[in-house]
Amino acid sequence: MDWWMTLLLGMAVLLTLLFVGMPIFVAFLILNVAGVFWLIGPSGFGMFANSIYTTASTGSLAAVPLFILMGEVLFRSGAMEVLLTSLDRLVGNIRGRQYVLCILLSAICGALAGAAMAVAGLLGRSLYPTMQQRGYDERLSAGTILGGASLDPIIPPSVLAIIIASLAKVSTGKLLMAGLVPGLVLMVMFLIYVLVRVKLKPSLAPDLSEDLRNPDTKGSALVAFLKMLPVSLIFLTVVGFIMMGVATPTEAAATGVIGSLILAAAYGGLNLEMLRLSLFSGVRVAGIMLAIMACATMFSQLLIFSGALGQLGDFVLHLDLSFYLMLLVLLGLPFLLFMFLDQVSVLMVLVPLYQPIIQHYEYDPIWFWALVLIVATVGGITPPFGYTLYAFKSAVPTVETKLLFSAAWPFVWIIVAGMALMAVFPELITFVPNMMRG
């Protein structure tokens, strides 16, 4: 069978299994078993077992459950409520201040957890009803939460960045830190967008005097700032250790877990039930991700063994596209796929396909994979099947799906514009990683 027939057949079977609702790792597992029988025979199951063991024992992946656990402890300990009320007092006398609060809070949540779906659900339950009660526009409120949540996998620490780094065989620490400036740039772009919208159309936000009547907006700004310091120190410790080369991402994540436990105790939220729920959630999410990666890695190896991967690379290279046109193709494909499919499953397939092309065009690996990380993030809020959209919908079931889709699109295009800026000025991504030791 020709290489392109092998590749199309494998992709068709995989997409069919995913579309009928098969769990991702089960879909890859079925495809792997069939592929081993077809290409190698029963003797190939030794390679299959060895592939799973190698992936499952990859040291850098230990950071994934630790970062998830850190975020779970902080979310369940009361730290998020402290952040919400403190930021509400610190945001100045700006019309549309709740939009500003939402974006800032999302960026901070990204620095603590890095899970867009969790933050969209959290802000949907906690902040969205408050915005509605104060008279904020329903569509722009939903869009701000979705856009803000999309920052979370970009700003370190990011579970998705760790997965991409492990698959692409690049420095985990550098790829984590590569998202810092892009995340801040996108945050500023979101802030400019909502403030300009409110300036041009004041009815999108309530009168400032009405907004400031809420008791959460009153109180000492100094006290609010001091209450935020402990949470800020956890982020600074984790990121600082990685940047200075003092600790690996896994060691920094372990430090973050210890800090979150101490903070939970200080806020009075540390108890056995909270620990049980946090550990259960962390183990469940990390276990599913590890199973997906183990099965998907074997799928990539089967593509290499069949020769389809090498032939596809040669085919693309012979197209002889320009530097930026090839970049547009490589980023456009996942942008479309992420509208319909899970981020991790798409990345598992695309990363090995892209490796020879990246080497040929001499793209900076950290720069390129950081752009892919942002594409994966925006896929979560892109209609019709973005996962973050439905995390918000599950938290606020009264919101119409049509309104949710229209709320998301402006922020999708802002992120696309930000990516274009980062493609033209790669220093926005590479500046911080180049400062790191090691």
Question: What is the residue extent of each domain of the chain?
Answer: 31-435
The alpha carbon torsion through 332, 336, 342, 347 (nearest 10 deg) reads -20
Please compute the mean of the pLDDT values over residues 102-129 and round it to a whole number: 76
Q: What is the mean pLDDT of the chain?
A: 82
Least confident of 14-28, 47-61, 64-78, 258-272: 47-61
Q: What is the pTM of this model?
A: 0.80
CA distance linking residue 326 with residue 335, whole number of Å = 14
Residues 6+ apart with CB under 8 A from 111: 155, 156, 157, 235, 239
Q: How confident is the model at residue 124 (pLDDT cuts 50, 70, 90)?
A: confident
Q: How confident is the model at residue 114 (pLDDT cuts 50, 70, 90)?
A: low
- pLDDT one-digit tens code per residue, 389-429: 877 887 888 888 889 999 999 999 999 999 999 999 999 99
More confident residue, 222 or 169: 169
pLDDT of res. 410: 96
Residue of higher predicted confidence among 114 and 386: 386
Highest mean pLDDT among 69-78, 115-124, 256-265: 256-265
Determine the pLDDT at residue 54: 72
Question: What is the rounded average pLDDT of the residues 46-50?
Answer: 71
Query: pLDDT-derived band of residue 271, with 50, 70 and 90 as boundaries?
Result: confident
Inter-axis angle of helices 272-306 and 308-317, nearest 10: 80
Looking at per-residue pLDDT, the higher value among 333 and 25 belongs to: 333
Interatomic CA distance for residues 253 and 287, integer angstroms: 17
Q: Is the pLDDT of residue 190 over 90?
A: yes
Percentage above 90 pLDDT, the chain: 24
Please say if the pLDDT value at position 17 is more than 90: no
pLDDT at 296: 65
The residues near 257 (Cβ < 8 Å, ≥ 6 apart) are 66, 69, 70, 73
Identify which has the larger pLDDT, 53 or 186.
Answer: 186
- Measure the CA–CA gap between 239 and 60, rounded to whole angstroms: 16
SS3 track for the chain: CCHHHHHHHHHHHHHHHHHCCCCHHHHHHHHHHHHHHHHCCHHHHHHHHHHHHHHHCCHHHHHHHHHHHHHHHHHHCCHHHHHHHHHHHHCCCCCCHHHHHHHHHHHHHHHHCCCHHHHHHHHHHHHHHHHHHCCCCHHHHHHHHHHHHHCCCCCCCCHHHHHHHHHHCCCHHHHHHHCHHHHHHHHHHHHHHHHHHHHHCHHHCCCHHHHCCCHHHCCCHHHHHHHHHHHHHHHHHHHHHHHHCCCCHHHHHHHHHHHHHHHHHHCCCCCHHHHHHHHHHHHHHHHHHHHHHHHHHHHHHHHHHHCHHHHHHHHHHCCCCCHHHHHHHHHHHHHHHCCCCCHHHHHHHHHHHHHHHHHHHCCCHHHHHHHHHHHHHHHCCCCCCCHHHHHHHHHCCCCCHHHHHHHHHHHHHHHHHHHHHHHHCCHHHHHHHHHCCC
Residues 6+ apart with CB under 8 A from 145: 102, 106, 120, 123, 124, 127, 128, 392
- Span 293-326, pLDDT tens digits: 677 667 766 766 767 666 766 777 777 789 999 9
Most confident of 157-171, 352-366, 394-408, 421-435: 421-435
Q: Give one word for 387, left, alpha or beta, with left for phi > 0 and alpha for psi -120 to 50.
A: alpha
- In this predicted model, which residue has the larger pLDDT, 210 or 89? 89
pLDDT at 320: 79
